[in-house]
Amino acid sequence: MRNWFTTCVLVLSGLLVSACRMQDAVDQAENEVFAIHDQVMPKTSQILALRKRLTERVAELDSLKQTGSAVATLRTDEEREQALRIKRNLTEADSLMLLWMNQYNSDTLDKLSEEDGLRYLDTQKEQITHIKTKVDGSIQQARKFLDES
């Protein structure tokens, strides 16, 4: 009888330790997701400022087009289209971030098993990493364009 009790205590202790480790893994995964989020979130103000500067640049190009030669008009049209494309990229990156924030729900983790929670967080980490790449790339592209024009 005593061996049976000791075995049960050891098994239950092992399960408890395992559950604690699994919860630690979920907490760590959630922290990783939010670390990436926290890198991206402050860049939304940069996106807004760059979009404004691109809008101003398009207006300048439209004014130049009115007074320029045919060759200058062609170059102006190309630069205008590039500015608009970069502005769309910034808008898309910003929209992706807003969509991610709206769909992410940490309450979901409370309803999932630890294994399902880890899978959920892995998917969220992939999504926010993709968004970070888009945000960083569009900001870099806009800065380069604005610095060169």
Is the residue at 39 inside a domain? Answer: yes
Tallying the residues shown for the chain, one arrives at 149
Q: pLDDT tens for residues 97-113? A: 999 999 998 888 889 89
Q: pLDDT tens for residues 112-143? A: 898 999 999 999 999 999 999 999 999 999 99
Q: pLDDT tens for residues 13-68? A: 444 444 555 678 899 999 999 999 999 999 999 999 999 999 999 999 888 877 76
Residue 58 lies in domain: 22-148
Is the residue at 92 inside a domain? Answer: yes
Residue located via tokens 């130049």: 64
Q: Based on the structure, what is the number of domains in the chain?
A: 1
Is the residue at 97 inside a domain? Answer: yes
Is the residue at 94 inside a domain? Answer: yes
* CA nearest neighbour of 118 among 29, 37, 52: 29
Is the residue at 7 inside a domain? Answer: no
* CA nearest neighbour of 105 among 127, 121, 92: 121
- C-alpha dist (Å) from residue 93 to 68, 104, 113, 142: 34, 17, 32, 12
Is the residue at 107 inside a domain? Answer: yes
